[in-house]
Amino acid sequence: MHPQHILKISEIFPSIQGEGLRQGEPTLFIRLSGCNLKCDFCDTKYAWISGKEMTVSRVMERIRKIHQIFPTRWVCLTGGEPLLQKVEVLARRLKNEGFKIQVETNATIYRPMAVSWYTISPKPPKYLYQPEYRKKAKEVKIVVTRGLELRVLQKLRQEFPEKIPLLLQPQSNRRWSLDQAKKLLKQSLKGNLNNVRLSVQIQRIFGWR
């Protein structure tokens, strides 16, 4: 008998995807515990430590139960940093049951999996990421911090195919962050950086988690 694969899970819940190109789509979220970066602007710091150990089978039971009343086909693995844990078994089980899988990652770790959608968000100060994402990412989400400069966007735009959008996501709804995002978008336009877009977190507008 094979040992049960254990994951540390912060929470599992149904909601609406609030960020990125999949914004507005009903989605089941599996938030895994732990993070290797721990950015000071993170809005899910509780996931760095808190969580409950669950077998993959138990996670799937929860997903099936929620799916009965919230029948979306999308599941998002998020965190923290979900790829710190060995989620390949979970991803395979989800795919075998017909789910489409989105992974939200800081891109410092890559795990070969049958994933439908990678949302990567390289973080300051170095904005490092694994090279596999240059082809596999569907979008590059860049949090607009006080220190974000045009040179970061220029570097990422050079390294990723133009079809992959760079999304400028304000760190918060405070005026400085919104103004900084707008400023960087204008600078990108003047600098001939294509497919750079403004993004917002609609979960904050609607009060979703």
Is the pLDDT at 176 greater than 80? The verdict is yes
Question: Each residue of 65-107: pLDDT tens digit?
Answer: 999 999 999 999 999 999 999 999 999 999 999 999 999 999 9
Sheet containing 6-16: which strands, arranged edge to edge? 52-55, 6-16, 26-32, 74-78, 100-105, 117-120, 137-144, 166-170, 196-198
Q: Are 7 and 31 in contact (CB under 8 A)?
A: no
Q: Which fold has domain 1-17+25-120?
A: TIM Barrel (3.20.20)
Q: How confident is the model at residue 3 (pLDDT cuts 50, 70, 90)?
A: low
In degrees, to the nearest 5, what angle opens at C-alpha 38 toward C-alphas 35 and 43? 95
The arithmetic mean of pLDDT across residues 46-74, rounded, is 96
Kindly list the domain boundaries of the chain, sorted by start residue.
Answer: 1-17+25-120, 140-209
Is the pTM for the entire model greater than 0.85? yes
